[in-house]
Chain A
Amino acid sequence: MVVVQTDDFNAADLTAQLRMRTAGLAGALVTFTGYVRDYAEGQNTRTLFLEHYPGMCEREISDICTQAQQRWNVPEPVVVHRVGELGNAEQIVYVGVASAHRGDAFRACEFIIDALKTRAPFWKRETLSSGERFWVQQRETDAEKTALWGTDTPSDTTRPA
C-alpha cells in the first residue's frame, strides 16, 4: 500500500492494520517513522515544505516495494508519505513491513526508506526560524547508502521497453 497525502497519519493505526492483514503469517513487524527535525546545524527549522511529482512518485515507491517483495519474504509493505507544509517535529513518512522472520523485515524496511530517499521524486524546502528559505540538498551519504543495496539505483534500464 502506497499513499502520498497532505494529511497527517496515525502510525499506530497503520501498524495495527498491517498486523491484522498479516496475522498468523508474520512473526515480525518492523516500522520506520521519519519526522521533521532541525536540518541545519545550530539553526532552528520552523517549517518544511514538501513538493512531489504526482504519478511518478507513487509509481517509484510502488516499484521500490515490489523490489523489496522480490528480494525478501515481505508481503505488502506499507508506505505513507506526506507532502505540503509541515511543522518541526511533525511526521513525514511511515514504512511498515511484516515478515515471517525479523531479518527480512529489518532489511526490507531499511531498503525501502533508503531507496525512497534517492528515487522517489520529493523535494524539501526548509524555512528557518530566522525566515531564511532554501531547498534541502541530497546528502552524498544517502546516495552511497542506496548504492550499497545494489540493484535499485536510478537507471534508464528501469524504463519499460
Chain B
Amino acid sequence: MSGTAINVLYFAQVAELTGTRLETWPLTEPVTGADWLVQLESRYPQLAPAKRLKLAVNQFHVKPSAIINPGDEVAVFEPVTGG
C-alpha cells in the first residue's frame, strides 16, 4: 500500500450492500472518519445513513473523529454481534 490510497474492507451486511469485500480507495490527504463516511455514502447510497456504521483503522476500533491516513487499512461494519 503506497501513500496514495487506503485498503477498505467491508464486512457482513455492509459487504452485501456494497457487493464487495475489499477495495483500494484513492486517498492522498488525511481525512476524519466522519468525513470519509460521507464519501462512502456518496459512492454507495444504499449504505445510508452511513454514520450509523462503525470504523476500524489498522484493526483497531475508532471514533468518527479519528484520522484516516493514506496507507491505512480501514474496515467498515455494523455494530458487532458475536458471543
Report chain B residues within 8 Å CB of A113. Answer: 83
Name B45-83 residues within 8 Å CB distance of A. 54, 56-63, 65-66, 75, 77-83
Label chain A's interface by main secondary structure: mixed
Count residues of B near A (Cβ-Cβ below 8 Å).
Answer: 23
Cβ-defined contact, B62 with A116, below 8 A: no
Show the binding face of B for A, using Cβ within 8 Å. 9, 11-13, 54, 56-63, 65-66, 75, 77-83
Pick the most buried of B54, B62, B77, B81: most chain A CB atoms within 10 A of its CB.
B81
Report chain A residues within 8 Å CB of B82. Answer: 50, 52, 81, 93, 116-117, 120-124
A71 to B9 CA separation, bound complex (whole angstroms): 33
Q: Which listed residue (B59, B63, B80) contacts A155, Cβ 8 A?
A: B63
Report chain A residues within 8 Å CB of B62. Answer: 156, 159
Cβ-defined contact, A121 with B63, below 8 A: no
Count residues of A near B (Cβ-Cβ below 8 Å).
Answer: 34
Cβ-defined contact, A138 with B63, below 8 A: no
Show the binding face of A for B, using Cβ within 8 Å. 34, 50-53, 55-56, 59-60, 81, 92-93, 113, 116-125, 135-138, 143, 154-156, 158-160
Report, nearest first, the 8 A-B pairs whose CB atoms are least far apart.
Answer: A122-B82, A123-B12, A154-B61, A138-B79, A56-B59, A117-B83, A135-B13, A156-B62
Cβ-defined contact, A117 with B12, below 8 A: no
A56 to B11 CA separation, bound complex (whole angstroms): 13
A123 to B81 CA separation, bound complex (whole angstroms): 5
Q: Which listed residue (A118, A156, A160) contacts B80, Cβ 8 A?
A: A118
A155 to B56 CA separation, bound complex (whole angstroms): 10
Chain A: CB-nearest residue to B15: A51
Cβ-defined contact, B60 with A158, below 8 A: yes
